[in-house]
């Protein structure tokens, strides 16, 4: 049972395609709450199919926030999301002491429930040089550089995400200290108790769900959506699995069949990294997706 004099944020996390959205909707219906979306790519209104935005029926079933509320042409950071999500939660808790947040973006989840870490200002020339190195020497060069300067963050970070690698490196170079040394320095106060639920299933089932989702995205028009975004392929938000591979197809680097297989492979790799991230996160209660709802509602959530 939930205490009546506290606010609770039920957070649903786990790898892509595992069924987080469906469970979040069921839980939100049970508690008559809203849903805060915490997927760093579903924020963007130009990206619908490739980010698996909830369907119209799902969005009508429960009020969602932070779904396609930004443009890929707007700068938007995890710090911006933290501030806006907390403000929205303050509003929602006035109406209902239980709210739901769902998403697979671990950094954004942590920002809301723990707080975003403070970093010193960095000389912008450092980022310019790193971006130049990325273009001329490739991502592997930056990955190896990060491994030397901050082996702790190297083990945690999404290594195939050039923005994350570049950000970590610019802090290392600009401060002379490891990026990881700035993490978890403070404990921000929150006006809610977070209850973090992790969804899991066996790997074969997860991979099968991923492969089927990619096939469904293509049936629903992913190729056409990616083609419409191709002129803007250098924008940070579009450095995303599902779009990146199709951009390579448009560039003539991949055949379409190879691009599709790369999407599936890279999505599976992304799911593995999500699992690694969340398994290292403290205070997550894990449930099999097959019977999660019943077991979660039977929890003593105090």
Binding residues for substrate: 16-21
Whether residue 39 contacts residue 68, with contact meaning beta carbons closer than 8 Å, is answered with no
Say which residue the tokens 């999404």 belong to: 158
| Annotated binding-site members | 14-21
Whether residue 194 contacts residue 9, with contact meaning beta carbons closer than 8 Å, is answered with yes
Whether residue 30 contacts residue 297, with contact meaning beta carbons closer than 8 Å, is answered with yes
Class of residue 197 by CB neighbours under 10 A (exposed 0-12, middle 13-18, buried 19+)? buried
> Torsions phi, psi of 79, nearest 5?
-65, -40
Whether residue 126 contacts residue 174, with contact meaning beta carbons closer than 8 Å, is answered with yes
| Annotated binding-site members for ATP | 14-21
Q: Which of 167, 160, 165 is nearest to 270 (CA)?
A: 160
Taking the C-alpha atoms of residue 4 and residue 297, their distance in angstroms, rounded to an integer, is 16
Say which residue the tokens 């998403």 belong to: 103
126's CB contacts (< 8 A; 6+ apart) are 170, 173, 174
Residue 144 is encoded by which pair of tokens? 């190896």
Q: Which of 208, 163, 210, 218 is nearest to 50 (CA)?
A: 218
Taking the C-alpha atoms of residue 260 and residue 245, their distance in angstroms, rounded to an integer, is 8
What element of type H or E holds 283? none
Taking the C-alpha atoms of residue 72 and residue 44, their distance in angstroms, rounded to an integer, is 6
Whether residue 274 contacts residue 14, with contact meaning beta carbons closer than 8 Å, is answered with yes
């Amino acid at each position: 049972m939930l205490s009546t004099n506290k606010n609770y944020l039920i957070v649903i996390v786990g790898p892509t395609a595992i069924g987080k959205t469906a469970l979040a909707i069921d839980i939100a219906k049970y508690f008559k709450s809203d849903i805060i979306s915490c997927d760093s790519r579903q924020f963007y209104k130009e990206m619908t199919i490739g980010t698996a935005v909830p369907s119209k029926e799902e969005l009508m079933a429960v009020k969602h926030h932070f779904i396609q509320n930004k443009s890929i042409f707007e700068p938007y950071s995890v710090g911006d999301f933290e501030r806006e999500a907390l403000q929205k939660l303050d509003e929602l808790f006035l109406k209902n002491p239980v709210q739901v947040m769902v998403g697979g973006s671990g950094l954004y989840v942590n920002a809301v429930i723990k707080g975003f870490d403070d970093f010193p200002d960095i000389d912008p020339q450092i980022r310019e040089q790193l971006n130049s190195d990325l273009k001329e020497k490739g991502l592997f060069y930056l990955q190896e550089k990060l491994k030397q300067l901050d082996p702790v963050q190297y083990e945690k970070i999404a290594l195939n995400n050039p923005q994350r690698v570049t950000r970590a490196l610019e802090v290392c170079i600009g401060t002379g200290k490891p990026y990881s040394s700035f993490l978890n320095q403070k404990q921000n106060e929150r006006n809610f108790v977070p209850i973090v639920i992790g969804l899991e299933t066996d790997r074969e089932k997860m991979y099968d769900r991923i492969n089927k989702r990619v096939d469904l995205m293509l049936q629903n028009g992913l190729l056409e959506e990616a083609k419409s975004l191709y002129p803007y392929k250098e924008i940070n938000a579009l450095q995303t699995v599902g779009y990146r591979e199709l951009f390579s197809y448009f560039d003539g680097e991949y055949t379409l069949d190879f691009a599709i297989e790369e999407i599936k492979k890279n999505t599976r790799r992304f799911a593995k990294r999500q699992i690694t991230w969340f398994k290292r996160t403290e205070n997550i209660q894990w449930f099999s997706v097959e019977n999660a709802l019943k077991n979660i509602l039977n929890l003593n959530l105090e």
